Amino acid sequence: MKVTGAQAIVKALELEKVDTVFGYPGAAICPFYDALRDSNIRHILTRHEQGAAHAASGYARATGRTGVCISTSGPGATNLITGIATAYMDSIPVVAITGQVSSELIGKDVFQEADITGATAPFCKHSYLVRSSADLPRILKEAFHIASTGRPGPVLIDIPIDIQCDEVEFNYPENIDIKGYKPNYRGHVMQVKKVVNAIAEAKRPVICAGGGIISANASKELLELAQKCKIPVVTTLMGIGSIPLEHELNMGMLGSHGVYSANHSVYNADLLLIFGARVGDRAMASTNIIAKKATIVHVDIDPAEIGKNIHVSIPVVGDIKMVLNDIIDIAEPGDTAEWNAKLQKIKEEHSVTRKYNIKSSNTINPKYFINCLSSYLDDKSIVTTEVGQNQIWAANHLNVKNARGFITSGGMGTMGYGLPAGIGAKIGRPESPVVVIAGDGSFQMSMQELGTIKQEKLGVKVVIFNNSRLGMVRELQKVKYGGRYTQVFLDANPDFVKLAEAYGIKASRICNNDEINESIKNMLKDNEPYILECIVDPDESTL
């Protein structure tokens, strides 16, 4: 059947079971938009291309399916870059489709031309500049395959406008054969046995659970192994949700912004089992010290992560879910009773969720607020965060109850991520309550997306912790730069309640800890968008 290139793209999206795309039109992508009009695929018009990329990422993280974002050529495409890079750093499956100027004009610096495959090369798992409409079905098929398998990541397809208009015989390939892409899913049997032996011998084992557990849907297996072998678990920022915060074996988030119990566990272990984590510097800074004390097991789907940041004794390349199942089948617990008892005590003594100061009557304690919020969220709920103090408050104080229930920009630390990611999450899982935790700084990086929320009638709830500061940078300047504060004062913040009203979104402001429970209940009572502004003391610390 002959169709246009644009129709071929739409047909491919339908065959990939894409139900929603996030995008922003422009001249060079108009043929695609024209074809999309005849499809049942839902298009969400964001207010900025970056929002479209983040929303696709939030959608992917909430659902486990590949997110799709669309933009035009030139500035539309370059506006996607931060979103693509954010998805790349956190290994999120996203397919980005960009319009491009007509093939014969490429390289002539014509209006809205940008070399987007070149510009995004460092942040894409793979990219295509389409040279013939005949290639479109194969390229779309490959793009979705590459984005969603192995270590997931963003794939960009740049499609010149003439290719969108050319005719193509549409045959969607059933099979894929990419010579250079054959991910290894099954862990090596001998390596798995070595892991099992190490677990049996260990006295002080710890599991470090990363985002790989969540992307592989392996949290059930993680819990099973931890419980079977009585191994305490710490999570990375990306691993939050892989095990409930309140689980007795969960020692919390590790790293420079993590909790004492988690870091103590890692630095005193004799066996560290790193599952689907890339040992980033914020999680484990002193890898030499850790590796000297402990046998390091590293299981990851990406061979390049193994040995990159920490010396590994037992490497296993494979899908974490399969490898965990293989380990569980034959694992026997070691003698970890003493270790667990000690860690339980440390966890009690250093608990961050017990000593909230709620005396103030003119500011909200954000940590206490998040702790309260947890009790109103069910096991379907999703919380997304922005970046800054709000992110760490949420990471350490929220009781995340489901694996895909915490969506945050881990590797890139992208301000302006939380709101559009929340939009994507809500669209992907409309039955789930979605709460965006934001600061006044990061909220303003994507606040134009309130228009998207309103237009699409999305019941996204936004909590803004307003300290009129870039709180985390301010804290850094206090600690590391002798209190020489500079450029961290947001003294001309808008009235966020009025701003919400301008968009026709309900909102309220609280500044007394006594108001927290009522206001959360009120915010969550329906499926309407809502903004709750919480006035926070500028001196409130991150940890």
**Chain positions contacting another protein, by CB under 8 A:** 117-118, 121-122, 125-126, 129, 131, 146, 178-181, 302-304, 307-308
- Give 125 or 298: the residue with its C-beta nearer to another protein: 125
Q: Give Cα 81 to chain centroid, integer Å.
A: 16
Nearest-approach distance from CB 174 to another protein, in angstroms: 20
Rounded Cα distance, 100 and 5, in Å = 13
In the DSSP assignment, the letter for residue 280 is -
Q: Least distance to another protein from the beta carbon of 155, Å?
A: 9
Q: How far apart are CA 472 and CA 490, in angstroms?
A: 13
C-alpha span between 334 and 148 (Å, rounded):
36
Pick 121 or 479: Cβ nearer another protein: 121
CB of 121 to another protein, least distance (A): 5
H, E, C per residue of 204-260: CEEEEECHHHHHCCCHHHHHHHHHHHCCCEEECCCCCCCCCCCCCCEEEECCCCCCH
For another protein, the closer of residues 147 and 445 by Cβ is 147
Nearer to another protein, 135 or 515 (CB): 135
Partners of residue 207 on adjacent β-strands = 233, 273
Least distance between another protein and beta carbon 49 (Å): 23
180 or 483: CB nearest another protein: 180
Cβ at position 91, least distance to another protein in Å = 12
By beta-carbon proximity to another protein, the closer residue of 312 and 488 is 312
Smaller CB separation from another protein, 88 or 393: 88
- Contact criterion met (CB below 8 Å) for 289 and 267: yes
Could you give the CA distance from residue 443 to residue 163 in angstroms, rounded to a whole number?
A: 38
Q: Which is nearer to another protein, 180 or 482 (CB)?
A: 180
Count other C-beta atoms under 10 Å from residue 297's C-beta. 25
DSSP 423-441: HHHHHH-TTS-EEEEEEHH
CB 135 → another protein: shortest distance, Å?
Answer: 11
The pair of three-digit structure tokens given for residue 300, joined into one six-digit string: 């990851």
Contact 243/258 with Cβ under 8 angstroms? no
**Closest separation in Å from C-beta 175 to another protein:** 17
Checking phi first, is residue 193 left (phi over 0); if not, alpha (psi -120 to 50) or beta? alpha
Nearer of residues 129 and 207 to another protein, judged by Cβ = 129
Least CB distance from residue 127 to another protein, whole Å?
Answer: 8
Q: Please state, in angstroms and rounded to a whole number, the distance separating the CA atoms of residues 367 and 378.
A: 19
Nearer to another protein, 44 or 129 (CB): 129
Tokens found for residue 369: 């607020």
Give the Cα separation of 270 and 198 in Å (integer): 10
CA 158, distance to chain mean position in Å, is: 24
Contact 237, 395 (CB under 8 A): yes
Residue 132 CB, shortest distance to another protein, in Å, is 12
Q: Which one, 118 or 504, has the nearer CB to another protein?
A: 118
The CB-side HSE value for 451 (13 A sphere, CA atoms) comes to 9
CB of residue 277 vs another protein: minimum separation in angstroms? 17
Distance CA 303, CA 151 (A): 10
Q: How far apart are CA 264 and CA 336, in angstroms?
A: 16
CB of 128 to another protein, least distance (A): 9
Cα–Cα distance for residue pair 142/123, rounded to 1 Å: 18
> 137 and 173 in contact (C-beta within 8 Å)?
yes
